[in-house]
A and B are shown apart, each in its own frame.
Chain A
Amino acid sequence: MKAINTKNITAIGVVSLLMLSACNDDNDDMSDVVDTMTETVTETMTHTYSVTITNLTQGQPMSPFVLLAHDEGMLFNIGDSASESLEYIAEGGNSSMLLAEDWVNESTTASAMLMPGESVTLMLENLEMMPNYLSVASMLVVTNDGFTAVNAFDTSMLNSGESYTLMGSVYDAGTEMNSEMAGTIPGIDMGEGFNSAREIEGVVTIHPGVVSMYDGLTQSVLTSFHRFDNPAIKVVINKM
């Protein structure tokens, strides 16, 4: 956290070099320097984050990731029941309700599912206010209600030019039984996502993992491909 802010130092260095060279030049060049300085100032007053997420699982596609900037709120608290907007992500990968939450200031969504081994970079660019928190979320689509997330990362940990790497676990929303049965899992055989008929009154915890048909759960439609362990994602948060 005490690392030197190299980017700003570079920017200042460029400006002073330009000014030095400008002293020997004519007025036109001088106005260029002023423009450059104005741009530099504008740039440091906004906040740009890039978040690169890698799917570390063997065989769990992840629903399109959302990246949120917020000043208050959490995606979830372990031990509390999941919000309805989180339930929609955890059971069906549907993030529209979460994006509409009034505590979400800015957001962006990946254009596609993140397959095992793939990485995706999401950007929030030129935010006028520095958000207090960044969060990401996605469903592990071959589970009943398993999801992975970064839950309210504190942006004060990062200065411009710095990055922070996190490893993310898989959580169980506690909103649906982990039956692994045909029809209840959206990522396999066109199963269904959210359905209030399968609702249970549980709480969010670390996910116990999937059992699969090859490890003693006769009713399961999952195979050894779908098993996972923690961590399930690598997340690199970079403040530009």
Chain B
Amino acid sequence: MKKTLLLSSILLSSFAAQAAQLEISVQNLTQGMVFTPSIIAAHDSSAYIFKTGMKASDALQAMAEGGDTALLNTMLMDAGANTVITEGMLAPAGQYSVMLNTDMENMYLSLGAMLLPTNDAFTGLDSWMIPTQAGTYTIMINAYDAGTEANTELMLPMAGGVPGVVGIPGDPTMAAGTGGSGVADMSPNQMVHIHPGNIGDDMESGGASDLSNTVHRWLNPVAKVTVTVK
């Protein structure tokens, strides 16, 4: 009888979902891109921040075009998720660390943050299954294109962050120029997809792009996520 009890408790701990205490750190691996504050969420299998090959939600669009995580946070909280939003911009090579306590049914971890300066690029993690075994896990993540705005690479300070307004809302690196003619006038893939990267040019004013081709380019992966399951 004792044996049976022991066995069933082992089975439960191995296979059932459980509440978890997570420490999550995110490091920006790029040479010249800045991340807006990240939204991090533990959620069930029905909720998500983004899915590749699917159209971006309005909430994702607001984050990808303007770094605004409020709509995503409301959406995720309504779905019963545990969320945390980090403070401040994450500079190139910078790192932050946050704690997140998750409820039993929230078995998946997702993350999102806009890349500046871009029209609608973000980095993210989609529904990574939280391990039940305590330990430290490392995930390298890529840059995605929300597919909601043409990659014009033209600066439009502040206003460019409003969903539907075409333009880049800001450049914390202060390396962008002005007066470009625009490198694209539409988004050929309107689903969430891997970002093709900034092109930029080498002109302070004029040229096709307001961005700098020696500062604002990147290659994947753009971030390292380290999750410690306590």
Which residues of A are interface residues toward B (Cβ below 8 A)?
78-79, 169-170, 172, 174, 177-180, 202-209, 211, 215-219, 229-230
Asked if B93 and A207 make an inter-chain contact with CB atoms under 8 angstroms apart, the answer reads no
Report whether over half of chain B's contact residues are helix, strand or loop; otherwise say mixed: loop
Q: Which of B35-43, B61-69, B214-222 contacts A (4 or more CB under 8 A)?
A: B214-222
Asked if A207 and B219 make an inter-chain contact with CB atoms under 8 angstroms apart, the answer reads yes
Q: Is B29 an interface residue (CB 8 A)?
A: yes
- CB-defined interface of B63-95 with A at 8 Å, one 1/0 digit per residue? 000000000000000000000000000001111
Asked if A208 and B219 make an inter-chain contact with CB atoms under 8 angstroms apart, the answer reads yes
Within 8 A of A (CB), among B211-230: 213-214, 217-222, 224
B222 to chain A: which residues have CB within 8 Å? 206
CA distance A174 to B29 in the complex (A): 12
CA distance A174 to B215 in the complex (A): 12
CA distance A78 to B219 in the complex (A): 15
Report whether over half of chain A's contact residues are helix, strand or loop; otherwise say mixed: loop
Given A177-B214, A207-B31, does the pair A216, B201 have CB atoms closer than 8 Å?
A: yes
Asked if B218 and A216 make an inter-chain contact with CB atoms under 8 angstroms apart, the answer reads no
Asked if A205 and B92 make an inter-chain contact with CB atoms under 8 angstroms apart, the answer reads yes
Partner of B214, one of A78, A174, A203, A211: A211
B29 to chain A: which residues have CB within 8 Å? 78, 205-206
CA distance A219 to B92 in the complex (A): 25
B167 to chain A: which residues have CB within 8 Å? none
Q: Is B202 an interface residue (CB 8 A)?
A: yes
Asked if A206 and B27 make an inter-chain contact with CB atoms under 8 angstroms apart, the answer reads no
B199 to chain A: which residues have CB within 8 Å? 215-216
Asked if B202 and A78 make an inter-chain contact with CB atoms under 8 angstroms apart, the answer reads no
CA distance A182 to B31 in the complex (A): 22
Asked if B27 and A78 make an inter-chain contact with CB atoms under 8 angstroms apart, the answer reads yes
Q: Is B177 an interface residue (CB 8 A)?
A: no
CA distance A169 to B219 in the complex (A): 9
CA distance A177 to B31 in the complex (A): 11
Nearest-neighbour CB distance to chain A for B115, whole angstroms, equals 12
Asked if B214 and A205 make an inter-chain contact with CB atoms under 8 angstroms apart, the answer reads no
Q: List 12 A-B contacts (CB under 8 A).
A: A79-B93, A79-B94, A205-B29, A205-B92, A206-B30, A206-B220, A211-B200, A211-B217, A216-B199, A217-B202, A217-B213, A218-B202
Asked if A216 and B202 make an inter-chain contact with CB atoms under 8 angstroms apart, the answer reads yes
Asked if A203 and B219 make an inter-chain contact with CB atoms under 8 angstroms apart, the answer reads no
A206 to chain B: which residues have CB within 8 Å? 29-31, 218-222
Asked if A79 and B95 make an inter-chain contact with CB atoms under 8 angstroms apart, the answer reads yes
Asked if B30 and A230 make an inter-chain contact with CB atoms under 8 angstroms apart, the answer reads no
Q: Is B32 an interface residue (CB 8 A)?
A: yes
A178 to chain B: which residues have CB within 8 Å? 31, 214
B209 to chain A: which residues have CB within 8 Å? 216
A229 to chain B: which residues have CB within 8 Å? 219-220
CB nearest to A220 among chain B residues: B202
CB nearest to B32 among chain A residues: A208
Nearest-neighbour CB distance to chain B for A221, whole angstroms, equals 14
CA distance A229 to B197 in the complex (A): 11
CA distance A229 to B213 in the complex (A): 16
Q: A78-B93, A230-B221 are in contact. List 17 more A-B contacts (CB 8 A).
A: A78-B224, A79-B94, A79-B95, A169-B219, A170-B219, A179-B214, A204-B93, A205-B93, A206-B29, A206-B30, A207-B31, A208-B218, A209-B197, A216-B208, A217-B214, A229-B220, A230-B220
A219 to chain B: which residues have CB within 8 Å? 202
Asked if A205 and B30 make an inter-chain contact with CB atoms under 8 angstroms apart, the answer reads yes
CB nearest to A171 among chain B residues: B29
CA distance A202 to B215 in the complex (A): 13
Nearest-neighbour CB distance to chain A for B138, whole angstroms, equals 12
A177 to chain B: which residues have CB within 8 Å? 214
Partner of B219, one of A215, A216, A230: A230
